[in-house]
Amino acid sequence: MGRYFKDIWEGVVTVLIGMRITWRHLFTPAVTIQYPDVKLKLPERARNRLYVNMDDCIGCDQCSMACPVNCITIETLKSTPDVDLGLTSVGTKKRLYVPRFDIDIAKCCYCGLCVYPCPTECIKMTDVYEFSEYERGNLNYNFSVMAHAEIDAAKAKLAAYEKEQAEKKAAAPKPPVAAATTPSAAAPATPGVRKPLPPLSRPAAAPKADPPTKPDSTS
Ligand code: SF4
Ligand code: SF4
Point out which residues pair with 140 in neighbouring strands. 104
Counting ligand 1 atoms within 8 A of each CB, the residue from 114, 126, 141 with the most, and so the one to mutate, is 114
Res. 25 pLDDT band, cuts 50 70 90: confident
User: Residue 209 above 70 pLDDT?
Assistant: no
CATH class of the domain comprising 51-149: alpha beta
- The H-or-E segment that residue 78 falls in is strand 72-78
Tell me how far apart the alpha carbons of residues 182 and 57 are, in angstroms, rounded to a whole number.
59
Give the number of other CB atoms < 10 A from CB of residue 58: 21
Task: Determine the distance separating the centroid of ligand 2 and the alpha carbon of 111, expressed in angstroms.
Answer: 16
- Distance between Cα 205 and ligand 2 center (Å): 82
Q: Is 103 in the pocket of ligand 1 (CB under 6 A)?
A: yes
pTM: 0.69
In short, whether 144's Cβ falls inside 6 Å of ligand 2 is no
What residues does each domain of the chain span?
A: 51-149
| Ligand 1 lined by 117 (C-beta under 6 Å) | no
Decide: 95 and 78 in contact? Cβ < 8 Å. Answer: yes
- The mean pLDDT value for 37-55 works out to 92
Written as one letter, the residue type at 166 is A
154 sits in which H/E element? helix 148-171
Question: What average pLDDT does this structure show over 45-50?
Answer: 92
Best CA proximity match to 95, nearest among 83, 105, 109: 83
Determine the distance separating the centroid of ligand 2 and the alpha carbon of 61, expressed in angstroms.
Answer: 6
Measured CA angle at 205 (ends 201, 210), to 5 deg: 180
pLDDT digits (tens, 9 = 90+) for 96-135: 999 999 999 999 999 999 999 999 999 999 999 999 999 9
| Contact 125 CB / ligand 1 (< 6 Å) | no
pLDDT in tens, 174-201: 877 765 454 444 444 444 445 555 555 5
Average pLDDT taken over every residue of the chain: 84
CA atoms within 13 A of residue 132's CA, in its CB half-sphere: 1
